[in-house]
């Protein structure tokens, strides 16, 4: 019989209300499996990694999830891994795991929007669906996946798109890879993935991987950029406007930061579409000339994770810039 390992990390799927009515992650992995709505037809092994709301996680915690998934797949009898996770930062942990995932067997992330003690909790169905995806032959060679509300998404490009709705996730630039319903998995697309990074080489030391996100907005100055650099940021993601625009002062500061060895990546606050070097006068064309690296369709949350992964593996800013360019190029062209 096929065997699936479920790694529990907390989140709403494991959350119950306390005496004050506050939601706190509490249920262990075994409790999640007890609430499955139907027989899943595979042997399931449950393991607890930690039990936290995902808004509390650090890059080191996310690295721990990737390591736990790798360790579970060391057993050749395991067909796939499911990770239950809070939805706030699921897109970061799933993408970090995908960047290092070098096994044909899937690692499937899922969670819930309603707590475990809600009468209509969506957690049990989402978990049953994720187990079906992890056990499906069709899901092999797709990397880390997100299974939520019946949709199957690639880790890269998927992000939380609604704060409260059960259909909480979307992949605006590519859409879902397929669907899962009543244990039946249908895959209709295959994601483009770069060569996996070396998980054994990754060091998630805070001083080594510190990466901040700085927003650009009408009238913004350079104080936030200077502040994160002064605080020790090794890399910065600019959350720019439009197709990747800021202003002349920001472009000048980007040039100063890149000359000092800080890696600057250019993303956008817009929901969909690529970053494009179109405008001067502090726009995307000037930012790229100043040394910023465009992130294509990768949005700030996942652009930051890519920088953290590269810094954790290589450390050297010049190498990180080169690998960032290579990684984004491979994702764009396949």
For residues 243, 175, 123, 2, the Cα torsion angle rounded to the nearest 10 degrees is -130
pLDDT of 268-316, one tens digit each? 999 999 999 999 999 999 999 999 999 999 999 999 999 999 999 999 9
pLDDT of 201-221, one tens digit each? 999 999 999 999 999 999 999
Given a cut of 50, is residue 334 above it in pLDDT? no
Given a cut of 50, is residue 180 above it in pLDDT? yes
Q: What is the DSSP letter of 280?
A: -
Residues 6+ apart with CB under 8 A from 283: 244, 245, 246, 277
The catalytic position among 9, 12, 89, 97 is 12
For residues 118, 121, 127, 128, the Cα torsion angle rounded to the nearest 10 degrees is 120
Residue 163: φ, ψ to 5°: -75, -25
Task: Encode 307-322 in three state secondary structure.
Answer: HHHHHHHHCCHHHHHH
pLDDT of 138-163, one tens digit each? 999 999 999 999 999 999 999 999 99
Would you call 110 a catalytic residue per the annotation?
no
Arithmetic mean of pLDDT, 38-64: 97
Cα separation, 307 vs 209, whole angstroms: 8
Arithmetic mean of pLDDT, 231-249: 98
Residue 179: φ, ψ to 5°: -135, 160
Q: What's the pLDDT at 332?
A: 53
- Across 134-169, b (16+ Cβ under 10 Å) vs e yields bbbebbeebbbbbbbbbbbbbbbbbbbeeeeeeebb
Largest CA distance in the chain: 62
Residues in the chain: 334
Split at pLDDT 50, 70, 90, the class of 331 is low
Arithmetic mean of pLDDT, 48-75: 98
Arithmetic mean of pLDDT, 35-60: 97
Arithmetic mean of pLDDT, 20-49: 95
For the chain, what percent of residues have pLDDT higher than 70? Answer: 98
- Beta strand 78-84 with 3-10 is parallel
Query: How many Cβ atoms are within 10 Å of 218's Cβ, its own excluded?
Result: 6
Structure tokens at 212: 């901040």
For the chain, what percent of residues have pLDDT higher than 90? Answer: 95
Arithmetic mean of pLDDT, 222-230: 98
Given a cut of 60, is residue 333 above it in pLDDT? no
Q: What's the pLDDT at 19?
A: 86
pLDDT of 77-118, one tens digit each? 999 999 999 999 999 999 999 999 999 999 999 999 999 999
Split at pLDDT 50, 70, 90, the class of 328 is confident
Q: What's the pLDDT at 326?
A: 82
| Among 225, 247, 245, CA closest to 237 | 225
pLDDT of 250-272, one tens digit each? 999 999 999 999 999 999 999 99
Q: What's the pLDDT at 116?
A: 96
Vertex 237: Cα angle to 235 and 240 (nearest 5) = 150
Split at pLDDT 50, 70, 90, the class of 330 is low
- Beta strand 144-148 with 151-154 is antiparallel
Given a cut of 80, is residue 9 above it in pLDDT? yes
């Amino acid at each position: 019989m096929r065997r699936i390992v479920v790694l529990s990390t907390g989140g709403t799927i494991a959350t119950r209300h306390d005496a004050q009515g506050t939601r706190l992650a509490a249920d262990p992995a075994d409790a999640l499996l007890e609430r499955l709505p139907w027989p899943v037809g595979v042997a399931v092994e449950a393991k607890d990694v930690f039990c936290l709301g995902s808004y509390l996680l650090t890059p080191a915690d996310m690295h721990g999830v990737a390591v736990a998934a790798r360790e579970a797949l060391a057993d050749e009898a395991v067909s796939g891994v499911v990770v239950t996770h809070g939805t706030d930062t699921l897109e970061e942990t799933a993408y970090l795991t995908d960047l290092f995932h070098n096994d044909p067997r899937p690692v499937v992330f899922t969670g819930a929007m309603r707590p475990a003690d809600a009468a209509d909790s969506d957690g049990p169905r989402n978990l049953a669906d994720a187990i079906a995806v992890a056990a499906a032959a069709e899901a092999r060679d797709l990397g880390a996946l997100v299974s939520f509300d019946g949709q199957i998404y690639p880790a890269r490009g998927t992000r939380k798109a609604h704060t409260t709705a059960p259909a909480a996730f979307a992949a605006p630039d590519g859409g879902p890879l397929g669907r899962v319903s009543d244990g039946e998995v249908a895959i209709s697309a295959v994601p483009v993935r770069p060569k996996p990074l070396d998980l054994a080489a990754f060091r998630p030391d805070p001083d080594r991987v510190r990466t901040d996100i700085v927003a650009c907005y009408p009238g913004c100055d350079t104080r936030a950029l200077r502040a994160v650099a002064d605080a020790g940021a090794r890399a910065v993601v600019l959350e720019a406007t439009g197709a990747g625009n800021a202003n002349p002062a920001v472009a000048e500061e980007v040039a100063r930061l890149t000359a000092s060895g800080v890696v600057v990546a250019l993303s956008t606050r817009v929901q969909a579409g690529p970053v494009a070097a179109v405008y001067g006068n502090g726009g995307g064309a000037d930012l790229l000339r100043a040394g910023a690296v465009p992130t294509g369709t990768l949005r700030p949350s996942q652009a930051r994770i890519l920088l953290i992964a590269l810094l954790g593996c290589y450390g050297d800013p010049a190498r990180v810039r080169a690998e960032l360019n290579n990684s984004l190029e491979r994702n764009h062209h396949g």
